[in-house]
Amino acid sequence: MISMALRITTLAERPEFAATLWDMEHTWAQFVLNDPIADLYYPFVTTRHQHHVLVADDDAEPGRPVARACLIPYVSGGDGLPDDGWDGVIRAGWLARERGEKPDAVSALEITVRRDLQGRGLSALMVSALREHAARLGFRTLVAPVRPNHKHLEPHTPMSEYAFRTRPDGLPHDPWLRVHVRAGAEIVKVAPRSMVVPGTLAEWRAWTGLPFDRSGPVEVPGALTPVHCDVEHDHAVYVEPNVWVSHALT
């Protein structure tokens, strides 16, 4: 567990983090960073979403980020949690801002912990901080399209099976889902097309170092499901399922 003294604030409170927010050593696969829908949120973090990003540093190295967490308010439309998960809430949040609509829901988008500090309990602290911040913003529920962190070890297992697998103590089999449930979340359902990453074969080769020279499913390190490759038409598409969890805040 973490023993350092953390200071967790919004980016608005500490704008000096804007210059180094994306410099942390992380474990995100390159292809995940090329979801086109992300461009509706991440380029505007420092200008539109300062109040929706949490940054953490510690007493050992003040001013050096050790973790970040992002969320986005959006308009749910009363339709429940969308099947397009991560992409869906980013799109809905962007549309709400463009249309001047008041959001009625809020979703977490990511929690990233610096690579050298992973496995020390920081992620649980950031989940707790996100819950508290969402409540301060006036929301009664925080939802999250969770990317189970051990699912990539079983790319051919349906998410509908994996998401609800439990240990003998009743907690989720997956460690990241377990963190959320221990924090008070309920696993609601699978978002079957939460993140869609299309690319040419050249792009996928650059992102992964794999040949992408045969049509069919391609297992990619870090991917939760196989990538669909079509050599004849020069493209490959990754459709990632996530798991919707819901944190009641009251």
Residue pLDDT, tens place only, 52-107: 999 999 887 788 899 999 999 999 988 899 999 999 999 999 999 999 999 999 99
Q: How far apart are CA 10 and CA 103, in angstroms?
A: 19
Amino acid at 109: L
Q: Which helix (H) or strand (E) holds 11?
A: none
- Half-sphere exposure (Cβ direction) of 119: Cα atoms closer than 13 Å: 3
pLDDT of 78: 83
Percentage of the residues of the chain whose pLDDT score is greater than 90? 89
Amino acid letter at 36? P
**Could you tell me where the DSSP H helices lie in the chain?**
45-48, 85-99, 122-136, 159-162, 175-182, 201-208
In the predicted model, is pLDDT for residue 1 greater than 80? no
pLDDT (tens digit per residue) in 132-148: 999 999 999 999 999 99
> What's the whole-model pTM score?
0.95
Nearest to 68 by CA among 129, 4, 16: 129
pLDDT for the residue numbered 72: 98
Segment holding 30, helix H or strand E: none
Residue 77 backbone class (left: φ over 0; alpha: ψ -120 to 50; beta: rest): left
Q: How many CA atoms lie within 13 A of 79 on its CB side?
A: 11
Phi, psi of 231 (to 5 degrees): -65, -40
Q: Is there a contact between 106 and 51 (Cβ–Cβ < 8 Å)? A: no
How many angstroms separate the CA atoms of 128 and 125, rounded?
A: 5
pLDDT-derived band at 153 (thresholds 50, 70, 90) equals very high
Q: pLDDT band at residue 4, thresholds of 50, 70 and 90? A: low
CA-CA distance, 199 to 208, in Å (whole number)? Answer: 12
- Is 179 within 8 Å of 69 (Cβ atoms)? no
The pLDDT of residue 134: 98
In whole angstroms, what is the distance from residue 125 CA to residue 132 CA?
11
